[in-house]
Amino acid sequence: MTKNTDKPVIDPFTAAMSVVDVKGRSPWEDAWHRLLKNRAAVYSAFIMAAMILLVVFGPMLISWESDFTDWDNTSTPPSFSTGHWFGTDAVGRDILVRTLEGGRISLMVGLVATIVSLLIGVSYGATAGYFGGAADRIMMRIVDIIYALPFMFFVILLMVIFDRNILLIFAAIGAINWLDMARIVRGQTLSLKNTEFVEAAKACGVNDWDIIRRHITPNLLGVVIVYVTLTIPQIILAESFLSFLGLGVQEPMSSWGALVSDGAQDMESAPWTLIVPSVFLTVTLYCFNYIGDGLRDALDPKDRV
């Protein structure tokens, strides 16, 4: 109902605007220009794009299968003559293919678990901030309590207790990282809900959920984008942490953490098995952190670290 009525009201407005010659720059355009000036962030974005392409398409281009054991070349150092550009592990598997395929898992966990934490965090934070009062106090008190718990320990417990399937990894890791998101979104919502446009919407009789959905959430986009980019590396790190302990993804699947763990065991005889996945993991985390930093400076200039 509301949708149909506000369409025609907006359209003449935009029509009138487009006639005017002077074109202002939206805050988003401003932010975009600030971001482009941040060289570290731009380079990181390019490297990250290359990394994603490499991880997605790389394994198709390499003739080795990730589980093929080349018994003629076990623990061989990187060399072009054997065809294993980044060497092989103790049972002759190609390190490059394994690292790229591990990267698929690591990046996928990073993405999916971030979406989980995003959904929980934004809906929780927006609800608490919008309703305020007792609901807000209780909800934020719960966040404070969970914040004080040694969360990684609970994730370890979860992973030990249940069958380690990949869905559980998504859920468990996503569930750790929603707290920051909830806090930030709540703060932002608190300041948004006293703005004129929300009051106007209230005065028009728009119900609470529609206000949260149509007026509050779009305005949260800036901070949310920033924290999503900063959450992804945290989650990739958490997954690698679990996999390193042997509690993450299970063979034959592999992730960067699991590969680093394998490599650490053979590092004296075959240091490349440690170094190759370590470099991929670190470069990825480094780039995500720089992109997130750049986005924060661009979108949220008042809160820089």
Partner 1 sequence: MIQDSGMARHVLRRLLSLIPTLLMLITVAFFLMRMAPGGPFDSEKFLPAEVEANLEAKYHMDESLLQQYFRYLSQIAVLDFGTSIQYKDWTVNELIAQAMPVSLTIGLSAMLLAFLFGTLLGISAALRQNTRVDYLLMGVGMLGISIPNFVVAPILTLLLAVYAGLLPAGGWDWSIASMVLPVVTLALPVTAYIARLTRGSMIEVMHSNFIRSARAKGLPESTVIRRHALRPALLPVISFLGPATAGMISGSVIIERIFTIPGLGSYFVQGALNRDYALVMGVVIFYGVLIIMLNFLIDLIYAWLNPKVRYDEKH
Which of 22, 153, 167, 252 is the binder for partner 1 (CB under 8 A)? 153
Q: How far apart are CA 77 and CA 92, in angstroms?
A: 11
For residue 127, the minimal CB distance to partner 1 (Å) is 21
Q: Is 299 in the site for partner 1 (CB under 8 A)?
A: no
Q: How far apart are CA 113 and CA 285, in angstroms?
A: 16
Which of 28, 57, 68, 162 is the binder for partner 1 (CB under 8 A)? 162
Q: Is 160 in the site for partner 1 (CB under 8 A)?
A: yes
Which of 139, 181, 235, 281 is the binder for partner 1 (CB under 8 A)? 281
Structure tokens at 231: 């959450």
Q: Is 260 in the site for partner 1 (CB under 8 A)?
A: yes
Q: How far apart are CA 62 and CA 135, in angstroms?
A: 56
Q: Is 200 in the site for partner 1 (CB under 8 A)?
A: no
Say if CB 253 and CB 105 are below 8 A apart: yes
Q: Which residues of 84-93 are buried (b: 16+ CB within 10 A; e: fewer)?
A: bebbbbeebb
Q: How far apart are CA 123 and CA 292, in angstroms?
A: 22
Q: Is 134 in the site for partner 1 (CB under 8 A)?
A: no
Which of 45, 285, 291, 295 is the binder for partner 1 (CB under 8 A)? 285
Q: How far apart are CA 218 and CA 215, in angstroms?
A: 6
Strands (E) across 224-263 are located at: none
Positions 209 through 238 that interact with partner 1 (CB under 8 A): 233, 237
For residue 286, the minimal CB distance to partner 1 (Å) is 4
Which of 92, 244, 248, 249 is the binder for partner 1 (CB under 8 A)? 244
Say if CB 259 and CB 74 are below 8 A apart: no
Please enumerate in sequence order all residues whose Cβ is within 8 A of that of 202, keeping only pairs 6 or more positions apart, or say none: 211
Site residues (vs partner 1, CB under 8 A)? 141, 144-146, 148-154, 156-158, 160-162, 233, 237, 240-241, 244-245, 257, 260-261, 263-264, 267-268, 271, 274-275, 278, 281-282, 285-286, 289-290, 293, 304-305
